[in-house]
């Protein structure tokens, strides 16, 4: 006899709720990208600034508006990538009762949802973003609670820090894995750096050079611009740090498989194409500014190429953790 309650039946093992969270992240990212590319601010932005995108574009040949949109497109790409990785985690390792996947959801969720607090660094509270976060958070928490029951008994938080296998630097796969891990670590550090910049100086010198303005000049145009831009920067930084963390542990902890290679390639393609592509769309192509991104995409591509053969047809059986 099935003694489950209706709520238990609807919630299932919790993976559906995590996939739902991932889907909302993907759709939200698409919305942010489309809205930015079409040149529109959110109603809340307009209310806070007292001007719309067209009015702001009247200053400095529209570079400030384009600069804001470039941060938002990059953020949109980052949360799409996070959503894709969440779907993979829920459908493959978590479905296979691997405890590390559950704990990775936990760690990345703390960073992703917790990064909302960094928006307050300049006293700006994005109520739209806040409401969206509060609406999505219960689904994520419920999914985490329900899915905890399916991970293997004996699984601990330490599982997420274990490597799947020793890296063989004499093999193409081993070298490729090092490239991917290096790229992942770079993304995490870059994300943390961008969050810190968003909470402190807001701009790097290349930003002001692109906009052809000083910080004081921005304040003269609109005193609310700095807090709003700081919010956008911190949001992108949080998204990028979350991606880096996910990549770092997924690559270290997962057994080679074609679905792993595919999700890495797809999510990296989305993240890098939006983050780098938008710079060319707005004419912000300063080499020193984009160099870390160029390095990141280069190491990622090399890593994906070198690991493809082993990912497509693994030559070894899953063994003991080291």
Q: How confident is the model over 78-109, as pLDDT tens digits? A: 999 999 999 999 999 999 999 999 999 999 99
CB 215 within 8 Å of CB 260: no
Which distant-in-sequence residues (6+ apart) come within 8 Å of 251 by Cβ? Answer: 177, 180, 181, 184, 264
Task: Determine what percent of the chain is predicted with pLDDT higher than 70.
Answer: 91
At residue 120, the pLDDT reads 63
Three-class DSSP labels, the chain: CCCCCHHHHHHCCCHHHHHHHHHHHHHHHHHHHHHHHCCCCCHHHHHHHCCCHHHHCCCHHHHHHHHHHHHHHHHHHHHHHHHHHHHHHHHCCCCCCCHHHHHHHHHHHHHHHHHHHHHHHHCCCCHHHHHHHHHHHHHHHHHHHHHHHHCCCCCCHHHHHCCCCCCCCCCHHHHHHHHHHHHHHHHHHHHHHHHHHHHCCCCCHHHHHHHCCCHHHHHHHCCCHHHHHHHHHHHHHHHHHHHHHHHHHHHHHCCCCHHHHHHHHHHHHHHHHHHHHHHHHHCCCCHHHHHHHHHHHHHHHHHHHHHHHHHHCCCCCCCCCC
Tell which residue, 262, 245, 292, has the closest CA to residue 82.
Answer: 245
Alpha-carbon Rg for the chain, nearest whole angstrom, is 21
- Banded model confidence at residue 114, pLDDT cuts 50, 70, 90: confident
Instruction: Please determine, for residue 194, whether its predicted confidence score (pLDDT) is greater than 50.
Output: yes
In the chain, what are the domain boundaries?
A: 12-153+160-312
322 — pLDDT class (breaks 50, 70, 90): very low
119/81 Cα distance (integer angstroms): 21
Distance between CA atoms of 174 and 89, rounded to whole angstroms? Answer: 22
Q: Are 256 and 171 in contact (CB under 8 A)?
A: no
- Per residue, the 3-state secondary structure of 288-310, as one string, reads HHHHHHHHHHHHHHHHHHHHHHH
* pTM exceeds cut of 0.85: yes
How many whole angstroms separate alpha carbon 53 and alpha carbon 66? 9
Q: What is the pLDDT of residues 212-246, one digit of tens each?
A: 999 999 999 999 999 999 989 988 999 999 999 99
Compute the distance between CA of residue 195 and CA of residue 202 in angstroms, rounded to an integer: 9
CA 143 – CA 152 distance, rounded (Å): 17
pLDDT digits (tens, 9 = 90+) for 48-68: 999 999 999 999 999 999 999
Q: How far apart are CA 115 and CA 106, in angstroms?
A: 14
So what's the pLDDT on residue 321? 37
Residue 201 has pLDDT above 60, yes or no: yes
């Amino acid at each position: 006899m099935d003694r489950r309650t209706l709520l238990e039946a609807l919630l299932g093992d919790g993976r559906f709720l995590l996939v739902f969270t991932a889907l909302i992240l993907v759709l939200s990212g698409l919305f942010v990208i489309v809205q930015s590319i079409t040149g529109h601010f959110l109603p809340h932005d307009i209310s806070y600034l007292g001007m719309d995108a067209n009015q702001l574009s009247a200053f400095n040949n529209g570079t400030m508006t384009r600069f804001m949109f470039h941060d938002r497109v990059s953020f949109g790409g980052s949360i799409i990538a996070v959503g894709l990785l969440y779907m993979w985690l829920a459908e493959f390792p978590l479905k296979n009762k691997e405890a590390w996947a559950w704990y990775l959801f936990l760690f990345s969720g703390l960073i992703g949802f917790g990064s909302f607090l960094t928006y307050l660094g300049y006293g700006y509270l994005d109520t739209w973003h806040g409401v969206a976060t509060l609406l999505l958070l219960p689904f994520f928490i419920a999914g985490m609670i329900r899915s905890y029951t399916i991970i293997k008994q004996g699984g601990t938080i330490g599982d997420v820090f274990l490597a799947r296998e020793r890296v063989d630097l004499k093999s193409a796969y081993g070298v490729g894995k090092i490239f991917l891990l290096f790229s992942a670590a770079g993304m995490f550090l870059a994300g943390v750096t961008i969050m810190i910049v968003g909470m402190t100086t807001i701009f790097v010198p290349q930003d002001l050079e692109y906009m052809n303005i000083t910080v004081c000049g921005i304040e003269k145009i609109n005193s609310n611009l700095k807090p709003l831009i700081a919010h956008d920067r911190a949001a992108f930084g949080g998204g990028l740090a979350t991606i880096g963390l996910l990549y770092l542990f997924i690559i270290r902890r997962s057994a080679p498989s074609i679905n792993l290679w595919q999700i890495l390639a797809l999510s990296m393609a989305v993240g890098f194409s939006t983050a780098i592509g938008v710079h060319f769309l707005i004419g912000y192509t300063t080499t020193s500014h984009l160099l870390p991104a160029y390095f990141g995409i280069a190491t990622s591509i090399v890593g994906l190429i070198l690991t493809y053969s082993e990912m497509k047809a693994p030559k070894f059986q899953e063994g003991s953790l080291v």
